[in-house]
């Protein structure tokens, strides 16, 4: 979205809809559109969390000064945004792999916990303490509470590979001109991600081998429950 | 969302935002919320496509009578919506597998084509002909234009397995009471889907073995281009 | 075999050989040949168990009225009996996959137990109580006594996929005329089964990861023994 | 079966049933039971083919002198016939792997061709020329008419591994006394076979990657047809 | 080796053995031991090629000024040299994976070509032109002459992952003190490498699917030949 | 190396360098070159261990009479030394697979232990007792101290397959003349080894599933430590 559209939508959100709190999710929080959005959100006084990818690191301090919360998900890489790969099927498969990595490594669980805390505070009528988190491989796997240590390190490995995918796609999209060069670069990034997703699957299967997959569903009242053995009730 | 929320949002859409056309995506178009939405959308006169999953088959004729377009994606199964599995990580992994199946079998491409046609018509100032499509395995793989016939039949196999996942999840969620019975049923449905996703991956790798992965990115003007050899330009 | 041949063979069995009890195994117990056989077997007074696949469900009650025992194995699907696939290699590979599913899910163990009971009764000079069992995924995995719950649900998933293979092969063999349509349908059914067999293998490997593969060999006296740890003696 | 039972059954076959020709299939044609059977079959004058496994090599010349045809399938290994592994599920899985190897390497096709020739001769009223074949890896893969040379060599590799399984099982069953020693030996033989079966699958998938799986179904008249491309008619 | 041992061995080499040319292979050409060796080799006047890993990049210019040839193999990562992982089995498996990546991506072929050229020059009595090459993923895959473009990009992906392994091991070995932190880091690096090696295998299998594996054996006279189809003679 | 070169190098070693003890590693200790080396080493009086592959079995007694120690590694097969396969990439990949098998089955650990003992003796000023070991599958896996019995039997299976690879390569290299015959034989041997290496990986993953990978690093003082749980310190 161009900056104007972002401005329109964001204003509508803070002026018309006026929600209790806002989660803004999108790539590169440092880009012009998101920058505009952050200004509006900051001035609105509505508690806001910006969820973004690695390029957002550059405006980490700025977001803190703006009074915004943020979660930077380092294992959510930029796609290979070259026309050859902007096929909806290719993009969907890439995103499926990203989701697998973000979810299976535990990064998603940090997001879940952060949002839960804000909701809890608001429910209790308190000012929510906004999260300011850069999710790296160590934090992700800690949140996932792996039982098998090899499951944990495989998830870390997957995280690091996925993070690197972003660098390779940046090289293919912004630092290489000739199609004969950037096509293999971008395609190799997507193959890397495919393998990161496979590693995540292998990690989860190791947890299954120990009947120790961690699951944290919410109770009817919205409390975060927890279970590990498949047949046990969440508590 | 409860029917009232759906009503609010849908009215806002047709009365305030008044877009050129509307794509409504969600599970079970036959449920009370979506039913309400369909009524409002039908009366709005704005060209609308309902994209839904298998339970939508029951209101296929009704949607046609309402003047709505529809696309029923049979390989998009209901998740195992039992508390034990409503863990965000589990749900995200399930959805990653669904995306892989919907994209890799070609179902997504039918959606892409249908929306492209409506956009083209609107751009040319014509009344768009609304799609009325039930995506089954044959139609999906035809749209994907596989080169290797085994890639095609593996994609069909994945589609059928994914479709069956929905039946098993319905059994686990609505037809079985005891946790000790529904937990294995739902868990087995999720394992089925994981394998459907693997089959899709195997199908795509077969296409790679022939350097014949079909990609259909849009040109700058929004025209749908096409390519098969990795190194060739989309045309 | 045509009904006459079946009649010949079955008569020879009940009139000449006159065994203590009879196990009749074959596809579709409802078809003309098997129907004839069932009549002869029923009238012979020799205790008989019919082992068949899903189409046998239609004559379940009839078999009970005939005083026959039966075991319907729902995960034993019809092959894709189109000329293109009636290659001995293709058929053998299909059957290898079926065997893997029937054995690894536990369906075979139900058959083993049922026959063991009849033999025990006859040995003791008692009238055997004939089994009347429809093997579905729940009964199969219960008989297999899985230790790892994910091994169990993967076996259930494999069972359900194999069962569905039969539906797809019926569609390809009896409901579709054109070769260009039925070939992909049948081929996709065989790919589905290949993946069901893979899932069974994955389930067994999970049991190995816990050193908990259930094995039930017979003792020299024909008693069914049991063991789980690889290095332990059957008991 | 003990020699007396074999004698009974074989006599019934040659004296009562008197078929046009006989195929005798079983392990170790050199053992006492099969030896007895071979004598009866030899004297009966009915054209007979003995199909057996590697131990049959010892009586190869004897069978020729007896006027019997034979096919020795070297990739059909003895099972690990120790009580610990005489679990029906284990045995069925072992046999599923054997079938996969025998079929997928092409060994089965040699059997198919040999029997077809005998049938053809008998149909034409001629004395059938009986096959005398020892199937090794080279002959097997030649019969399978692989297109991809790596598919062929993978099948050869699988054949050789399967053949070696027999040696290891002989060691575990006849040359090792202590359970703590023979259990791992037999278990390792079964793991070897599992991988031989996997290799066969990999070989077939390579042929699929080239759309070149060879299939040889019979025509309605019993003529052996042939096809390679999935979508083509057998000819 | 400590610098003194290196000095001893290197002096023995240049003063006693005095070969026609020297290939010095080892990790980190910038470290004290290799630095000493480079000085001696540089002064010896014997044509020398230093083959090293990524840390060697720091002394690239220095080596050129010393008149030394060099080949920096960026996909040859440092091992996780923490006591917990200095088990000979772990190290051997790590190195097996490194070899797979160095060989299968084509990096090894660049080394082969460079050494061949030096040998050719010396044979012809010419002063050899020493190679000065930093092997990155593009150069590696170019040397490997892949036929299938996906094989090529998978090899590139493997190269980049392997390169990243070095960074993670540096972090685990030199930048992290506590065992509870560095163990997972190092273990994750080794898992990354295991997957890089798998990707290389997948790449080679794709070439097999096209019967296009490039092989470059030497003729009896030491000429580098070339072949692609498995059954063809090298030429 | 030709016998003369071996003689030169070995003499230099025993006369000039005069180490405390010698480890001689190379293929076929029975060949002319190694035979010459063994004579020199035997006469030198320096404690020597010959590490070799299966053909060394022929000179086992001879080595004992020569006062030499030896370790015969039966799972270290001869490569397919036909020109078509003497491509450096192919050879490196073959060796990577060999390393994986030698290391992962435990064979390497026997070598490690044997050398450690000699070093310990020499350090203590004692005459070292030289090892005389033929490493077969049972000894290898015992040294590896597997926890999961299936990991152990998979390693045994891999060992036996790798051992068989040598036989097949001997057949392809020395007993077959025509390229059209030996190429598939050698290629099949390399495929067998690739699967042996895969099996070793599967074995190690099973140990990971139990968090029981055995690692035996040395302490700073050179003592052999041991650990199984990933996070524990070696002791
Ligand atoms: Mg993104
Ligand atoms: Mg859904
Ligand atoms: Mg059947
Ligand atoms: Mg059922
Ligand atoms: Mg057998
Ligand atoms: Mg290194
Ligand atoms: Mg690079
Ligand atoms: Mg060697």
* Rounded mean pLDDT, E165-173: 97
**Nearest CA of chain B to the CA of A231: how many Å?**
7
**Which DSSP letter does residue C65 get?**
H
Query: Which ligand is nearest the CA of C95, by number?
Result: 3
From D171, D195, D199, D196, select the one nearest D185 (Cα to Cα).
D171
Query: Three-state DSSP class for A123?
Result: helix
Q: Which two tokens stand for residue A228?
A: 């590990």
Per cent of chain C over pLDDT 90 is 94
Output the pLDDT for position C159: 98
**At D132, is the pLDDT very low, low, confident or very high (cuts 50, 70, 90)?**
very high
User: What is the tens place of the pLDDT at every residue in B158-191?
Assistant: 999 999 999 999 999 999 999 999 999 999 999 9
| Mean pLDDT on F44-65 | 96
Contact between E140 and E107 (Cβ < 8 Å): yes
Domain extents for chain B? 75-107+137-209
pLDDT of residue F2 exceeding 90, the answer is: no
Contact A230 C206 (CB under 8 A): no
Q: What is the pLDDT of residues B32-58, one digit of tens each?
A: 999 999 999 999 999 999 999 999 999
- Interchain proximity C209–F148, CB inside 8 Å: yes
CA–CA separation, A137 vs A141, rounded Å? Answer: 6
Residues from chain C contacting residue F149 (CB–CB below 8 Å): 211, 229-231
Q: Would the pLDDT of E1 be above 80?
A: no
In this complex, do A209 and C149 lie within 8 Å of one another by their Cβ atoms? no
E191/A199 touch (CB, cutoff 8 Å), yes or no: yes
CA B12 to chain centre: 25
Q: Has residue E158 got a pLDDT over 80?
A: yes
Question: Nearest Cα to A91, choosing from B209, B204, B101, B103?
Answer: B103
- When the pLDDT of each residue in chain F is averaged and rounded to a whole number, the result is 96
Burial state string for A56-71 with b = 16 or more CB within 10 A and e = fewer than 16: beebbebbeebebbbb
Residue whose tokens read 């990978």: F213
Beta bridge mates, F48 = F22
Query: Which residues of B are less than 8 Å from E204 in CB distance?
Result: none
Q: What pLDDT sits at residue A39?
A: 96
Please state, in angstroms and rounded to a whole number, the distance separating the CA atoms of residues B190 and A215: 14
Closest Cβ–Cβ partner in A150, A209, A210 for F230: A150
Please report which residue ranges of D32-175 form alpha helices under DSSP H.
32-44, 60-65, 88-104, 107-123, 137-144, 149-174
- Is pLDDT of D3 > 80? yes
Q: What is the pLDDT of residue B55?
A: 94
Residues E207-227 pLDDT 10s = 999 999 999 999 999 999 999
How many angstroms is it from E74 CA to the middle of ligand 7? 7
**Would you state the pLDDT for residue D210?**
97
Nearest CA in chain F to E184: F231
Chain B: give the shortest CA distance to residue C149, in Å: 8
Question: What per-residue confidence (pLDDT) applies to C16?
Answer: 87
pLDDT grade for B2, boundaries at 50, 70 and 90: confident
- pLDDT for the residue D96: 98
pLDDT attached to residue A6: 87
Q: Are E46 and E16 in contact (CB under 8 A)?
A: no
Distance CA F134, CA F157 (A): 17
* CB spacing of A231 vs C153 below 8 angstroms: no
Contact partners, residue C3, CB within 8 Å, separation at least 6? C32, C33, C35, C36
pLDDT of E3 above 90: no
Q: What SS3 state is found at B135?
A: strand
What are the start-end ranges of the H helices in chain A?
A: 3-11, 32-44, 60-65, 88-105, 107-123, 137-144, 149-174, 179-209
Q: Are D10 and D37 in contact (CB under 8 A)?
A: yes
**Chain A hits for E191, Cβ within 8 Å:** 150, 153-154, 156-157, 199
Residue B4 pLDDT > 90 = no
Residues of chain A with pLDDT under 70: none
- Asked if E84 and F215 touch (Cβ cutoff 8 Å), the reply is yes
Close Cβ partners of B157 (under 8 Å, ≥ 6 residues apart): B199, C188, C189, C191, C192, C195
Average pLDDT over residues C168-194: 98
The per-residue pLDDT for C116 is 95
Report how far residue C38's alpha carbon sits from residue C50's, in angstroms, rounded to the nearest whole number: 8
Three-class secondary structure of residue C154 per DSSP: helix
Neighbouring C-beta atoms of residue F39, cutoff 10 Å: 13
Give the closest ligand to the alpha carbon of residue A75: 1
Closest CA to E94 of E78, E109, E83: E78
Q: D148 vs E209: CB contact, 8 Å cut-off? A: yes
* pLDDT per position as a tens digit, B71-130: 999 999 999 999 999 999 999 999 999 999 999 999 999 999 999 999 999 999 999 999
Q: How close is the nearest chain E Cα to the Cα of D8, in Å? A: 53
Cβ proximity of E33 and E6 under 8 Å? yes
A188 → closest Cβ in E160, E168, E192: E160
In whole angstroms, give the CA distance from residue D146 to residue E140.
32
What is the model's pLDDT at position E90?
A: 98
| Neighbors of chain C with 3 or more C-beta pairs under 8 Å | A, B, D, F
Strand D22-25: give its sheet, edge to edge: D22-25, D48-52, D69-73, D132-135
Query: Residue F71 forms beta bridges with which residues?
Result: F51, F133
Mean pLDDT of C203-217: 98
- Chain A interface test: which of F148, F151, F211 (most A C-beta within 10 Å): F211
């Amino acid at each position: 979205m161009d900056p104007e559209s972002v401005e329109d939508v964001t204003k509508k959100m803070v002026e018309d809809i006026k929600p209790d709190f806002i989660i803004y999710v999108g790539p590169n929080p440092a880009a012009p559109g998101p920058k505009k959005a952050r200004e509006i959100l900051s001035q609105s006084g509505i508690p806001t969390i910006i969820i973004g990818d690695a390029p957002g690191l550059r405006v980490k301090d700025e977001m803190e000064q703006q009074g915004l919360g943020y979660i930077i998900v380092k294992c959510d890489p930029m796609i290979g945004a070259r026309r050859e790969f902007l096929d909806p099927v290719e993009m969907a498969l890439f995103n499926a792999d990203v989701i697998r990595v973000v979810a299976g490594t535990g990064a998603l669980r940090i997001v879940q916990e952060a949002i839960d805390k804000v909701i809890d505070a608001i429910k209790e009528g308190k000012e929510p303490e906004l999260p300011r988190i850069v999710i790296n491989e160590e934090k992700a796997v800690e949140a996932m509470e792996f039982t098998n240590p090899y499951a944990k390190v495989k998830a870390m490995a997957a995280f690091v590979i996925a993070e690197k995918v972003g660098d390779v796609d940046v090289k293919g999209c912004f630092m290489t001109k000739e199609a004969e060069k950037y096509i293999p670069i971008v395609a190799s990034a997507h193959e890397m991600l495919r393998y990161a997703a496979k590693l995540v699957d292998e990690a989860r299967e190791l947890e299954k081998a120990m009947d120790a997959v961690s699951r944290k569903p919410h109770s009817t009242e919205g409390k975060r429950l927890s279970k590990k053995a498949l047949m046990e009730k969440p508590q």
